[in-house]
């Protein structure tokens, strides 16, 4: 139904997946001395999320994840420097705020559609 709209909801209903991926990167950064650059397959195995969903979320959230240049033909991702400078609570707050904004947008669009339907019904009803 919402495929015709010119935007997609990147955060609404997906906060848990994004946070799982974020914490996967945090764990990888603590284990590796150079930082945690991970391939989507590694993230999918660690978190239990499907590979396609991991790839979609990584590409859809440039606020948190950045694609690194290919090395050896493998694309890896890393947490952005602005996200790594923030605390875990700030990241969770940022994600929940983005989800709330998308929810408000969703409700505004739903209200506009219902209002248009009500106008059509009120215009047609007196003629019956």
What pTM does this model have? Answer: 0.82
- The SS3 call for residue 68 is coil
> How many domains would you assign to the chain?
1
**34: pLDDT strictly greater than 80:** no
User: With bands split at pLDDT 50, 70 and 90, how would you rate the model's confidence at 5?
Assistant: low
Residue 9 pLDDT exceeds 90: no
* Domain, as residue range, for 92: 7-127
The torsion angles phi and psi of 101, rounded to 5 degrees, stand at: -65, -40
Q: In this structure, what CATH number is given to the domain that contains residue 42?
A: 1.10.10.10
**Is residue 1 scored above 70 in pLDDT?**
no
Tell me the per-residue pLDDT of 116-127, one tens digit each, with 9 for 90 and over: 999 999 999 888
């Amino acid at each position: 139904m919402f495929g015709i709209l010119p935007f997609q909801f990147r955060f609404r209903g997906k906060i848990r997946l994004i946070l799982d991926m974020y914490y996967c990167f945090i764990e990888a950064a603590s284990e590796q001395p150079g930082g945690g650059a991970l391939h989507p397959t590694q993230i999918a195995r660690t978190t239990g999320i499907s590979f396609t969903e991991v790839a979609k979320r990584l590409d859809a959230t440039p606020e948190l994840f950045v694609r690194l240049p290919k090395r050896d033909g493998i694309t890896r991702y890393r947490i952005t420097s602005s996200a790594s400078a923030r605390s875990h609570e700030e990241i969770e707050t940022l994600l929940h705020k983005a989800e709330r904004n998308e929810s408000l947008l969703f409700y505004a669009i739903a209200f506009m559609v219902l209002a248009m339907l009500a106008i059509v019904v009120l215009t047609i009803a007196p003629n019956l």
